Amino acid sequence: MIRFEGVTKRFPGAERPAVEALDLTVAEGTTCALIGPSGCGKSTTLRMINRLAEPDEGRIRIDGRDIADGDPVTLRRGIGYVLQGVGLFPHRSVAQNVATVPTLLGWPRARIAARVDAMLALVGLDPGRFRDRRPDALSGGQRQRVGVARALAADPAILLMDEPFGAVDPVARTRLQAEIGAILKRLRKTVILVTHDIGEALHMGDQVALMRDGRLVQSASPDRLLVAPADAFTADFLGEGRSLRRLARLRAGDFAQADAVEGMAPTISDEASLQEALDRMLATGTNRLALGDRSLTLDAVRNAARAVSEREADRTPP
């Protein structure tokens, strides 16, 4: 668990604190997405967790321990860090990049080699094809996968991700969000994700923390944030189409009916979102999609959206 307790950070010459009186708790094994306008303090908040920035007031605790009490270098080696643009060492091979922290920790060579191959396979890169390549021989999406593999190589409990997919093209970004998000949930890592993309925050975050002018405006589950924004700023930041954003968080297979579609109906996978299903219905002019021997109807999509709205509206805010 990561806990901010009244944390304030000031920079010399600034008119206001970069972060002010921040109270925020991130549960173990969950992903918290920090989002807000440029200059709101989200990256500074992230950097204080591994002490690349030190708070002027308050405490940050990891599993109950004040991080200021230990050695910052030791702290950083136990926390994975993924940057925008990846930051791979250009003159080192993919394997050498992934092995960075295990090497610093003094792991035996055989253990490092096995871990490198396991991490490359985990992020969808064939070790035989990619371990000896240099970063300039990779696509943007491949470099980002290597960056995630490097951050996970020493098996840290915490992973910090600062605009991790910002430099990747939109098609690759959507795929990476889904694949990397699934990996992190499976590994039960505690993740702090900084992003400017509200869709990314809602898709990857179990918790979304919206900041403004250094202060926390609202911290809630993505569904709660969409259904019950705390104020006009939050509603405006989330923008129009909040109902459609909720559909993006629901799995089509969970709402399909056990009846086959006759004829040549458009198909969609169980793992697709209801938003993707709705888009496909509109694009093909149909009100029913085939999912193997089951079907998904437009009425089912409507009912799902209505049910989520009613259920979330009744919840007590966290």
**Per-residue pLDDT averaged across 307-315, rounded?**
59
Domain limits of the chain?
A: 2-240, 245-313
**Short-list 75, 18, 72, CA closest to 215:** 18
* Residue that the structure tokens 């169980």 belong to: 270
Residue 45 to residue 48: CA distance in whole angstroms: 5
**Per-residue pLDDT averaged across 151-175, rounded?**
83
pLDDT at 199 (0 to 100): 82
Instruction: Give Cβ neighbours of residue 62 (< 8 Å, ≥ 6 apart).
Output: 1, 2, 3, 49, 158
Residue 68 to residue 209: CA distance in whole angstroms: 23
Tokens (6 digits) for 111: 């253990």
Q: How is residue 205 annotated by DSSP?
A: -
Which range is least confidently modeled, 27-41, 107-121, 165-179? 165-179
pLDDT at 51 (0 to 100): 96
Tokens (6 digits) for 187: 């590994």
pLDDT at 262 (0 to 100): 65
Put simply, whether the predicted model's pTM sits higher than 0.85 gets the answer no
pLDDT at 317 (0 to 100): 44
Higher pLDDT, 257 or 44: 44
Query: Could you say which architecture CATH assigns to the domain 2-240?
Result: 3-Layer(aba) Sandwich (3.40)
Q: Which amino acid is at 310?
A: E
Q: What element of type H or E holds 136?
A: none
Residue 268: pLDDT band with limits 50, 70, 90: confident
Residue 49 to residue 61: CA distance in whole angstroms: 9
Instruction: Give Cβ neighbours of residue 64 (< 8 Å, ≥ 6 apart).
Output: 1
Instruction: Give Cβ neighbours of residue 118 (< 8 Å, ≥ 6 apart).
Output: none
Residue 67: pLDDT band with limits 50, 70, 90: very high
pLDDT at 310 (0 to 100): 64
**Per-residue pLDDT averaged across 32-57, rounded?**
95
Residue 105 to residue 77: CA distance in whole angstroms: 8
- The pLDDT of residue 211 is above 50: yes
Q: Is the dihedral of CA 190, 194, 198, 199 positive or negative?
A: negative
- Residue pair 97/146 in contact (Cβ under 8 Å)? The answer is yes
**Short-list 76, 132, 130, 83, CA closest to 104:** 76
User: For residue range 91-105, what is the model confidence (pLDDT) as tens digits?
Assistant: 999 999 999 999 999
- The pLDDT of residue 167 is above 70: no
Which range is least confidently modeled, 45-54, 114-123, 227-236? 227-236
Residue 3 to residue 63: CA distance in whole angstroms: 8
Instruction: Give Cβ neighbours of residue 58 (< 8 Å, ≥ 6 apart).
Output: 4, 5, 6, 7, 8, 21, 22
- Residue pair 86/94 in contact (Cβ under 8 Å)? The answer is no
Tokens (6 digits) for 10: 């000031």
- The pLDDT of residue 216 is above 60: yes
Q: Which amino acid is at 73?
A: V
- The pLDDT of residue 316 is above 50: no
Tokens (6 digits) for 302: 């409507």
- The pLDDT of residue 6 is above 90: yes
- For the chain, give the mean pLDDT: 88
Q: Determine phi and psi for 250, rounding to 5 degrees.
A: -110, 140
Both ends of the chain: CA-CA distance in Å?
A: 16
* Count of other CB atoms within 10 angstroms of residue 105: 12
